[in-house]
Amino acid sequence: MNIGFNTDIKYRDEVFHIQTEDKGKINPTIETLVYHSGEILLSKRISYGHLLNKPDPKKKIKEMMKNQHDQVIFELKDGKYLHLLSMDTQVIEDRGLNEMVIDYLNQSDSTDQES
């Protein structure tokens, strides 16, 4: 099992913790987790089972870990995962689609009549 990577980055006034680890030979997977405010925003996994029977796979696994870790950091800085921050939004008004369409149409009628 390889030692993992941990990186804290600040992006748009938000702090994210990126952690990449080797799950070991029993579960030959590299896992990268992105945390924000103690919660997991993203989990990315890749298997390396195909490398276990090759000579000295440790170096290749370490390279895969570093590549995945760096890729997730790049994607985060590029804004790819910021949509995940809005997952805790609350419903302010619980109306059905029909009600919203009727309200929209009524608003459109009143603006047309004012013109």
Q: Which three-class secondary structure state does DSSP give residue 98?
A: helix
- pTM over 0.75? The answer is no
7-16, 70-79, 87-96: the lowest-pLDDT one? 87-96
Hey, which of 2-11, 25-34, 75-84, 103-112 has the most confident mean pLDDT? 25-34
Report pLDDT for 106. Answer: 82
Domain count of the fold of the chain: 1
Residue 21 CA to residue 66 CA, distance in Å, equals 10
Cα dihedral value 106, 107, 112, 115, nearest 10: 140
Pairing outcome for strands 5-11 and 14-22: antiparallel
**Averaged over 17-23, what is the pLDDT?**
95
Q: Per residue in 26-53, pLDDT tens?
A: 999 999 999 988 889 899 999 999 999 8
* Domain assignment of residue 47, given as a range: 5-114
Pairing outcome for strands 14-22 and 39-47: unpaired
pLDDT at position 68 over 60: yes
Which residue matches tokens 């109306």?
95
**Confidence grade of residue 114 (pLDDT, cut at 50, 70, 90):** low
Report pLDDT for 12. Answer: 75
